[in-house]
Chains A and B, each alone.
Chain A
Amino acid sequence: MSGGHRWARWLGPPIVIGAVALVLSQLHAGADAGGRTTPPPVGACAASPLPTDAAGRPRPDVGPGSWWTLGERLDAHGAMAGRHLAVGRGGATTFAMDLPIESIASGPVGGVVILATDGEQRSEIRLVSVAGACSWLVDTTGDVVRGAILDPLDGSVLAHLVSRATRADLGTWRFGGQGAAAIDAPQLVAPALDAGLLEGPAWVTDLRLDSTSRLLAVQSCTDSGCLTRIFDLQARATTPAILRGAAADVAQGAMLGFANGKLLTWAACPGYPCAIQAWDLATGTSSIILDRADGAAVTRDGRFLVASSDSRAGRTLRLDLISGKTVLAKGVRAGERLLASGVAATSGVQLGVDEVAIGAPGATPHSFRPVAAEVIP
């Protein structure tokens, strides 16, 4: 970790203003998806756009229906030239902007998209207001930000960094924060993975918080599977639990989310259909809770796993993770997919704790509330 310092909460130094202006100069009206035809002007937010209550605590419930999509911009040769972010709410696109290749988004939370972009020299972490069509620079770093999520407890951003020079894992750091929780300098919350735990370079590192923001899952993956470290953010001296498969055929795939003392992940499959695993946080053991799915998402409250057994046909299962009951459910249309979050995500929608995200190619993502889904007898 190098270079990061907190300077931009109020766009103080002129150099900051210049940097923000450079990025924001790329903001332009996005394609309309219906509804609004003239997006509001965009620019730098005057303050952090994360809504807070009277006590200064973030309000993640503000701005339901906010969404983002992050597509690729390819050059004439088919190589990535950058990415394209579109942000909106409901059926309307608020604004869109071109971004560098190494850009990721997460959220939205409280109507705010968490955005990390990397230039040739520095990475920036921003909070982008969907409704305000503006962005707020949380911090910059000379290292490369590979992933960033918002901690809704205090409005800070947890970001995974790699070395610009060597691409080595530099751990996960906390940036920013709201009000009294604001920090002046990034704080290490999860150190880099010990060399040797993965026999090979990490391909991706993904972050996930549980619903209380107490447990942070840091999942490191090679090109064939993953291991996950679970950090207790309220007991930082505690050694993280490590979840990993004991053999190739039980290797761990990408994370889905926390649920009732477990971490749900895909199995390490070559594609789909694929099994879904539940890893016991206390024992580290895992079991298969669904033997085949081609899409899946878990509600943040840990109550339901929603899985497609055939997404082209819209065949959707709802697993009650408390009772263990599985039913066929309506509500996900043929061709829609349950959306994954994480560093490779290409879209996201603001969700209630009992919702999951779904989307179809070319369409804006939307939420799905499994508890209210009509059950197919």
Chain B
Amino acid sequence: MIALPRRFVVGCSAMALAAALIANAATVAHGPDPLLGTTPWGLDQVVGYQWKSGATPPSWMAAAIDAGAADVRSSKGSRAATFIRVSSSSSEIAYGGAVPCSSYGIACMNRTGVPSSFDGMWFRPYGWAFDWGTLRWCQGQSTPTTGCYDAENVALDEFGHIELLGHHQNLEDESDFQDAVVQYAARSKPRAGWDQHAFGRCDVARLQLEYALESSADRVSTCLSLATSLSVVASATTIDAGSSVRITGTFKVAVTSAAKALSGDPLSGRTITLQRRLPGATSWSTFGPLGGNSTAGSYGLTLTPSTTYDYRLLFTAPGGDGLLGATSATVRIAVIACPTTPARGAIRLSPCL
């Protein structure tokens, strides 16, 4: 169900609510959506739903709800559950009838039953009367009029709740409203975000925290700023001049409790740069980027250094990825300059043997 945190900022209640449904909800403004409940779906779980007998939505509403389910699949950015309409399911969606939503809600859901199923999702019918007037669903109109509510957007919000998403905590001026579809109050046409049909980045952030990335190469939501870990290993630390050495880096989300399901997960597809400096120097120069290895989160570069250098790897946080930059430890690769043609009788010492 969908509305307004700051409408209640002044009040006389001093409720000591910590618990319950907003577990771990010490959410600062513009962070990931808070949690709703504690029980997640399984990773990549496919959840079927059917229309509730006697409360089947009209075709325009059915299409909007199904589209909302498709929006989940296309925008979840994580291994969160997907929802698809099937012929028979204990998870039911109803249009009208005995809607158990709060009296002020235009839609609501009950996620009791997760992870086997969800108890239900309900939408009030077109024309339902509120104090302010009559509910109009945009999809029920040939030309959506000002003040109508987008049923696909509202369905996406409800599916977000069923995933595990609580209402996003907006900034005071709501300038970040479109960072989340899962909001206290849906916006009616034509306010910004009224027809948003993809999870916002702070919805996705919470889904990623709870359900991990679909692929190690996927970008992390920019609603997050996760610490990363970058390690470096050289195939040898002492080589002959002219020999090659392979430098391998492993890039991961840092192991922290805040990163939740992402903690320690490998990160592929990022730009990891090799830097080097002469021993004793203070400044680093960029040698070049590492290529991706077949193992997730692994990068490598083979080089043939001519002299001894200290090496390190660098990840510079780009825009569009909710990661913090990282620098690896330093590894020194000593290059032994050996005579091209050793003198007869000279004792050859390793590594020039």
Contacts and interface: CB of A to CB of B under 8 A. Distances in A.
B111 A271 contact: yes
A249 B24 CA distance: 12
Interface in B1-57: 1-17, 19-22, 25, 34, 36-37, 54, 57
B133 A78 contact: no
A244 B1 CA distance: 19
A274 interface: yes
Contacts of B158: 271
Nearest to A360: B98
A222 B104 contact: yes
Nearest to A284: B12
A91 to B, nearest CB: 19
Contact of B98 (A267, A273, A342, A346): A346
Nearest to A201: B132
Interface string B132-145: 11100000100000
B61 interface: yes
A244 B99 contact: no
A223 B17 contact: no
A34 B330 CA distance: 84
A270 B36 contact: yes
Interface stretch (A39-47, A51-59, A69-77, A149-157): A69-77
A272 B109 contact: yes
B7 A198 contact: yes
A279 B12 CA distance: 11
A262 to B, nearest CB: 12
B128 interface: yes
Contacts of A252: 8, 13
B67 to A, nearest CB: 16
B166 interface: yes
Interface in A170-209: 198-206
A311 B111 CA distance: 12
B17 A362 contact: no
Interface string B84-122: 000000100001111111111110111111000001000
Given A248-B8, A271-B111, A162 B3 contact: no
A244 B161 CA distance: 24
B131 interface: yes
| B contact patch SS | loop
Interface in A236-274: 242-254, 266-274
B129 interface: yes
B5 A248 contact: yes
Query: Which of B2, B100, B111 has the most A CB atoms < 10 Å from its CB?
Result: B100
B97 A270 contact: no
Interface in A319-377: 337, 340, 342-344, 346-347, 359, 361-362
Contact of B132 (A203, A246, A291, A342): A203
Contacts of A225: 3-4, 7-8, 184
Interface string A283-302: 11111100110110000000
A309 B4 CA distance: 27
A246 B125 contact: no
A101 B129 contact: yes
Interface in B267-319: none
Interface string A206-226: 100000000000000111111
B128 to A, nearest CB: 6
Contacts of B185: 200, 222-224
B83 interface: no
A78 B125 contact: yes
B58 interface: yes
B169 interface: yes
A126 interface: no
A208 to B, nearest CB: 12
A246 B126 contact: no
B96 A79 contact: no
Contact of A288 (B15, B36, B140, B157): B15
Contact of A79 (B22, B98, B126): B126
A167 B131 contact: yes
Contact of B104 (A169, A244, A254, A292): A254
Contacts of B98: 337, 346-347, 359, 361
Nearest to B52: A361
B167 interface: yes
Nearest to A198: B7
A146 interface: yes
Given A200-B7, A311-B119, A340-B100, A223 B106 contact: yes
Given A79-B126, A248-B184, A279 B13 contact: yes
B309 to A, nearest CB: 54
A245 B8 CA distance: 6
B320 interface: no
A240 B45 CA distance: 51
A206 B7 contact: no
Contact of A292 (B20, B34, B54): B20
A198 B16 CA distance: 23
Given A267-B17, A279-B13, A285-B14, 15 more contacts: A80-B128, A203-B103, A204-B130, A224-B185, A242-B11, A248-B169, A251-B5, A252-B13, A266-B102, A271-B108, A272-B108, A342-B103, A344-B99, A346-B98, A346-B99
Enumerate the 9 nearest inter-chain pairs by beta-carbon distance, A residue then B residue, closest first.
A224-B3, A78-B58, A248-B5, A80-B127, A291-B20, A344-B103, A284-B12, A272-B110, A221-B104
10 contacts: A72-B125, A78-B57, A78-B58, A79-B140, A204-B130, A249-B17, A249-B34, A267-B17, A271-B108, A284-B11
